[in-house]
Chain A
Amino acid sequence: GAVVSQHPSRVICKSGTSVKIECRSLDFQATTMFWYRQFPKKSLMLMATSNEGSKATYEQGVEKDKFLINHASLTLSTLTVTSAHPEDSSFYICSAASGSFDEQYFGPGTRLTVT
């Protein structure tokens, strides 16, 4: 149990375009979903936390207008990188939990390359 999917697994886009990444909990209801960013050979950094039906809470230094997060249902959250630039290239990983402080289950990640 506790499977989280992420789509797409890889995406290459041109600078200035927007990219949407989907995160789905397949076999449980995720009250809370999280979005992380990971640079090569580095640890994961939390970008934002979202609860179903409410606005996301962004970490300090994360631009909310650039990284739009929507958590429309208990099984789906989306991250949209707007007007992407090469410095947005990274590995983005979502996770889902039944509650804000419960065990988290991670998706397989999305590797974004902005050219």
Chain B
Amino acid sequence: GIQVEQSPPDLILQEGANSTLRCNFSDSVNNLQWFHQNPWGQLINLFYIPSGTKQNGRLSATTVATERYSLLYISSSQTTDSGVYFCSLTYKYIFGTGTRLKVLA
């Protein structure tokens, strides 16, 4: 089956630090999304990015479809960034393994 692996699985940052989260997938991508699941369980759409680069404030994402990976960049992290980050192959309805992020004040 299709594999969607995320790294690192866990990440602890000091407030203000930058980080890069990675999503590797074993199938060609059509639609890919990044989500943030907050501590209450709500999934928040971050990016819909089958290819190329997008930026939204302190967050940006890049998908290199030919090499089957996507990156999520978080700059100047804040405590509210804590939670779990998932990538998803939307057209296959498959979620990645997730990266659990904790940002310390």
Contact indicator B41/A44 (Cβ below 8 Å) = no
Contact indicator A34/B93 (Cβ below 8 Å) = yes
Which single member of B41, B45, B96 contacts A43 (CB below 8 Å)? B96
Task: Give, as a whole number of angstroms, the nearest-CB distance from A100 to chain B.
Answer: 8
B86 at the interface (CB under 8 A from A): yes
**Assembled-state Cα–Cα distance A46/B2 (Å):** 14
Q: Mark A94-115, 1 if CB is under 8 A from B, else 0.
A: 0100000111111011010000
Contact indicator A106/B35 (Cβ below 8 Å) = yes
Q: Mark B43-55, 1 if CB is under 8 A from A, else 0.
A: 1110010000000
Interface residues on B, range: 20 to 34
Which single member of B41, B45, B90, B100 contacts A111 (CB below 8 Å)? B41
Once A44-B86, A108-B40, A109-B42 are accepted as A-B contacts, the answer to whether A103 and B96 lie under 8 Å apart by CB is: no
Contact indicator A105/B86 (Cβ below 8 Å) = no
Interface residues on A, range: 20 to 34
User: Which residues of B lie under 8 Å from residue A108 when comparing CB positions?
Assistant: 40-42
Interface residues of B in 2-55 (CB under 8 A from A): 30-31, 33, 35, 40-45, 48
Once A34-B93, A43-B97 are accepted as A-B contacts, the answer to whether A101 and B31 lie under 8 Å apart by CB is: yes
Closest B residue to A48 by beta carbon equals B93
User: Which residues of B lie under 8 Å from residue A50 when comparing CB positions?
Assistant: none
Task: Give, as a whole number of angstroms, the nearest-CB distance from A23 to chain B.
Answer: 13
User: Which residues of A lie under 8 Å from residue B96 when comparing CB positions?
Assistant: 43
**Assembled-state Cα–Cα distance A49/B93 (Å):** 9
Closest B residue to A42 by beta carbon equals B98
User: Which residues of B lie under 8 Å from residue A45 when comparing CB positions?
Assistant: 95
Task: Give, as a whole number of angstroms, the nearest-CB distance from A94 to chain B.
Answer: 10
Query: Sorted from nearest, which 9 A-B pairs have the closest CB atoms?
Result: A106-B43, A101-B91, A46-B93, A109-B41, A44-B95, A103-B48, A43-B95, A108-B42, A43-B98
Known: A102-B31, A106-B44, A108-B41. 11 other contacts (CB 8 A): A2-B45, A41-B100, A43-B98, A45-B95, A46-B93, A91-B41, A101-B91, A103-B45, A106-B43, A108-B40, A111-B41
